[in-house]
């Protein structure tokens, strides 16, 4: 008898109490999660870091066969005035079978301005700055773990997975470029 | 359970305190006569207490360095130079801290290999072993972030390369390819920017200060877990009776004390005569985000893992880079499974001749991994063989050892007969 009585009593009380329990637990979990987000998000780039303005680069002094390295968002950006031979090899290699991240040279430069190659100078492997006009493809060579990029900045050999990144940029005039 | 005589204070003040906070009993039971230890521990058992000593040295010298150090990209390098040149005994504090980190890793690596040779990771000490590995991982994180603080070229580029490991997550979600992939998001979360910069230095400093105290907490758990089964010993058999045991104090306090003097003597020689021998000269060049040094290498204690990272050069389903990162983490994580990969009931390598042979092969393999880690990938080692090829063979062997050899060997190996007891073996040796 007693068993049945207690079960009944328990059943009735349990639904309400269960609701309160579940409500309390879920409520605290949501509340905690909502508070954890600020704790994590404070690590992300702050407003002033994000506000880093775009930069303008003057190309008038960069002769054919020369490059400049400018700092953008704390990283180096390569601006290379390519030689005719470099452009020719880059185009000829568009269909090469060793392109790990296939992209045509035309997609990496501005039409009509093929001589200017603008790239973030950060190796897509683990972030070192590659050295210009070196390596097996006459483009860039990353000394850190041996990645070879061609004259279009495409990865050809070594551990890096991607071509050197082309940032968003636009020509303000024939000799001025805006990066970012 | 390794319990010796309980602590019964005679002195009334001790007694009063003990009734309210049983702290003397705790000390008595962990380091005193209340902790009976096997009578046959050899010098390889010194490295636990030596690692503890290193932790204390790092915390004391670190807190002192923090009094003079400035965590800002424009001032960090100069403040460290000022510590070495101008602060009274600053050179001593800094060289103790820098070389102390290396000594800490030497002690801990020997300590781990001791455990691997004598089977200390096996039942009932699995928890003890795993807590030890947690300590090792925390030490690696601490040392990595500490190395960034002087803000030299190696600091900067080491931080760049290591935080970029996480950009491999772009393989899972690449985004538009313009820095919004999963990996890019993780990296900028870690760095607090688009590249290693002042926010990175600040957070690394904060965490570098914190983690040693977390390590201290895990060390306490580690010792707690040790005191449940008690120490393993060179024979790898359990203590049976009184004849197998001696009290920790005075026997092992004395033996550990002797080890401390030898260790400190070596430490002193390094600090006074070769304080920069384990560092890299490029770290005396202030960090320059525009120029990567021709040859970047991590601190020596990371070299084996660095070789494993560099050994993957071919994309296969996922990128070579992702494989490298996975393999590097796996090489450490797999150690957590060691108690189950090696199912042999016999602990000590003394009674496992084949296992013993392959233990030494593994050690040589790690030496090779370390040596190759400091070379650039295309350096020719001999004849036509490049460093990367040797690294690949050594990496293969590392995983082969743990994932194939050990599980198979522990099932098929004929082990030698175990002695009756520790006492009988020790006494027979003497006779
Ligand atoms: C697990 C213990 C610790 C390890 C393994 C460790 C490791 C390191 C390493 C490798 C460096 C770079 C040294 C150099 O190249 O100059 C460093 C620097 C530094 N550490 Fe620690 N550390 C530890 C504990 C601490 C603690 C507890 C503090 C105190 C807050 C601290 C404060 C510093 C400071 C201020 C620097 C920069 C000065 C310098 O580079 O000499 N460390 N640490
Ligand atoms: S960072 Fe360039 S090859 Fe690794």
Note down pLDDT in tens along chain B; length 431 residues. 456 677 888 889 999 999 999 888 888 887 777 788 999 999 999 999 999 999 999 999 999 999 999 999 999 999 999 999 999 999 999 999 999 999 999 999 999 999 999 999 999 999 999 999 999 999 999 999 999 999 999 999 999 999 988 888 888 888 776 677 899 899 999 999 889 999 999 999 999 999 999 999 999 999 999 988 999 999 999 999 889 999 888 899 999 999 999 999 999 999 999 999 999 999 999 999 998 888 888 999 999 999 999 898 887 888 888 999 999 999 999 999 999 999 999 999 999 999 999 999 999 999 999 999 998 777 888 888 888 899 999 999 999 999 999 999 999 999 999 999 999 888 876 65
Whether residues B290 and A45 touch (CB distance < 8 A) is answered with: no
The pLDDT value given to residue A5: 52
User: For residues B177 and B175, what is the distance between their CA atoms, to the nearest angstrom?
Assistant: 5
Element at B42 (helix H, strand E): none
Tokens of A81: 């005035």
| Interface probe, candidates A48, A74, A126, A169, chain B, greatest B C-beta count within 10 A | A126
- Cβ(B157)–Cβ(B292) under 8 Å? yes
Q: Which residue of B has its CA nearest to A72?
A: B194
CA distances in angstroms from B390 to A24, A127, A157, B381, B394, listed in the order given? 59, 24, 19, 8, 6
Q: Which residues contact B234 (CB under 8 A, 6 or more apart)?
A: B40, B41, B42, B44, B118, B348, B350
User: For residues A63 and B121, what is the distance between their CA atoms, to the nearest angstrom?
Assistant: 65
Positive or negative torsion for Cα B236, B215, B28, B248: positive
Chain A residues touching B178 at Cβ < 8 A: 165, 168
User: For residues B201 and B150, what is the distance between their CA atoms, to the nearest angstrom?
Assistant: 10
Q: What are phi and psi of B20, to 5 degrees?
A: -95, -35
Element at B171 (helix H, strand E): none
Tokens of B301: 């204690």
Can you tell me which atom of ligand 1 is nearest the CA of B150?
A: 40
User: For residues A109 and A115, what is the distance between their CA atoms, to the nearest angstrom?
Assistant: 8
- Cβ(A128)–Cβ(B157) under 8 Å? yes
* Model confidence, pTM: 0.88
ipTM of the complex: 0.78
Tokens of B84: 């070495």
Q: Which of residues 119-158 of A touch B (CB under 8 A)?
A: 122, 125-129, 142-146, 158
pLDDT in tens, chain A (180 residues): 455 555 555 555 678 888 999 999 999 999 999 999 989 999 998 888 887 768 899 999 999 999 999 988 888 999 999 999 999 999 999 988 889 889 999 999 998 899 999 999 999 988 899 999 999 999 999 988 889 999 999 999 888 888 999 998 999 998 899 998
User: For residues B277 and B6, what is the distance between their CA atoms, to the nearest angstrom?
Assistant: 48
- Cβ(A149)–Cβ(A156) under 8 Å? yes
Marked catalytic residue, from B28, B111, B222, B227: B227
Strands in A140-142's sheet, in edge-to-edge order, are A131-132, A140-142, A147-149, A155-157
Chain B residues touching A125 at Cβ < 8 A: 164, 321
Positive or negative torsion for Cα B285, B287, B290, B292: positive
The pLDDT value given to residue B177: 66
- Cβ(A140)–Cβ(A131) under 8 Å? yes
Going from N- to C-terminal start, the domains of chain A cover: 1-44, 50-179
The residue to mutate among B60, B62, B151, B214, having the most atoms of ligand 1 within 8 angstroms of its beta carbon, is B62
Min CA distance, B141 vs chain A (Å)? 17
According to DSSP, residue A165 is labeled: P
Tokens of B311: 């050994």
Please provide the DSSP assignment of B300-357 as one string: GGGHHHHHHHHT--S-BSB-HHHHHHHHHHHHHHGGGGHHHH---S---GGG-HHHHH
What are the structural domains of chain B?
1-34 (no CATH), 35-430 (1.20.810.10)
From the list B61, B105, B55, the residue with the least C-alpha distance to B83 is: B61
User: Which residue's alpha carbon is at the smallest distance from atom 23 of ligand 1?
Assistant: B58
The pLDDT value given to residue B313: 81
Fold for A50-179, please state it: Rieske Iron-sulfur Protein (2.102.10)
- Write the Ramachandran bin of A158: left for phi over 0, alpha for psi from -120 to 50, otherwise beta: left
Min CA distance, B188 vs chain A (Å)? 6
- Cβ(B283)–Cβ(B155) under 8 Å? yes
The pLDDT value given to residue B431: 54
């Amino acid at each position: 008898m007693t068993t049945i009585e207690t079960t009944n009593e328990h059943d009735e009380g349990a639904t309400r109490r269960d609701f309160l329990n579940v409500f309390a637990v879920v409520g605290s979990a949501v509340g905690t999660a909502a508070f954890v987000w600020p704790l994590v998000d404070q690590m992300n780039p702050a407003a002033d870091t994000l506000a880093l303005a775009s930069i303008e680069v003057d190309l008038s002094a960069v002769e054919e066969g020369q490059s400049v390295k400018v700092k953008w968002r704390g990283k180096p950006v390569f601006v290379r005035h390519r030689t005719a031979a470099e452009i020719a090899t880059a185009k000829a290699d568009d269909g090469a079978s060793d392109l790990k991240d296939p992209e045509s040279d035309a997609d990496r430069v501005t039409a009509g301005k093929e001589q200017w190659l603008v790239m973030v100078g950060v190796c897509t492997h683990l972030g070192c700055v590659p050295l210009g006009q070196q390596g097996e493809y006459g483009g860039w060579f990353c000394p850190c773990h041996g990645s070879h990029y061609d004259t279009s900045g495409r990865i050809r050999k070594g551990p890096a997975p991607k071509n050197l990144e082309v940032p968003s940029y636009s020509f303000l005039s024939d000799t001025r470029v805006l990066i970012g | 359970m390794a319990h010796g005589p309980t602590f019964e204070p005679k002195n009334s003040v001790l007694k009063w305190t003990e009734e309210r906070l049983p702290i003397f009993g705790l000390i008595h039971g962990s380091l005193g006569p209340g902790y009976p230890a096997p009578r046959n521990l050899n010098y390889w058992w010194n490295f636990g207490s030596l690692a503890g000593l290193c932790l204390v040295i790092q915390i004391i010298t670190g807190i002192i360095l923090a009094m003079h150090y400035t965590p800002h990209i424009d001032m960090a390098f100069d403040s460290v130079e000022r510590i070495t040149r101008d602060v009274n005994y600053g050179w001593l504090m800094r060289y103790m801290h820098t070389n102390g980190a290396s000594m800490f890793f030497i002690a801990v690596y020997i300590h781990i290999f001791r455990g691997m040779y004598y089977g200390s990771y096996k039942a009932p000490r699995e928890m003890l072993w795993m807590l030890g590995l947690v300590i090792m991982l925390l030490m690696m994180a601490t040392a990595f972030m500490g190395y960034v603080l002087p803000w030299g070229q190696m600091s900067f580029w080491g931080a760049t390369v290591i935080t970029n490991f996480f950009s491999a997550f772009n393989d899972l979600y690449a985004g538009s390819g313009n820095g919004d992939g999963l990996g890019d998001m993780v990296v900028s979360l870690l760095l607090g920017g688009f590249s290693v910069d002042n926010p990175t230095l600040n957070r690394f400093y904060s965490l570098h200060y914190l983690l040693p105290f977390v390590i201290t907490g895990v060390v306490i758990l580690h010792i707690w877990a040790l005191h449940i089964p008690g120490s393993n010993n060179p024979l790898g058999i359990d203590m049976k009776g009184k004849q197998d045991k001696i009290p920790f104090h005075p026997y092992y306090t004395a033996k550990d004390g002797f080890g401390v003097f030898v260790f400190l003597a070596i430490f002193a020689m390094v600090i006074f005569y070769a304080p920069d021998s384990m560092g890299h000269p490029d770290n005396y060049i202030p960090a320059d985000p525009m120029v990567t040094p021709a040859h970047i290498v991590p601190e020596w204690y990371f070299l084996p893992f660095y070789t494993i990272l560099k050994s993957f050069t071919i994309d296969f389903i996922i990128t070579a880079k992702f494989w490298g990162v996975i393999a590097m983490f796996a090489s450490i994580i797999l150690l957590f499974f060691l108690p189950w990969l090696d199912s042999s009931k016999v602990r000590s390598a003394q009674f496992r001749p084949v296992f013993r042979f392959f233990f030494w092969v593994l050690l040589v393999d790690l030496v090779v991994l370390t040596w190759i880690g400091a070379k650039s990938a295309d350096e020719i080692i001999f004849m036509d063989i490049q460093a990367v090829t040797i690294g690949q063979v050594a990496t293969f062997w590392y995983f082969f050892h743990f994932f194939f050899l050990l599980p198979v060997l522990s099932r098929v190996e004929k082990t030698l007969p175990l002695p009756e007891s520790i006492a009988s073996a020790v006494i027979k040796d003497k006779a």
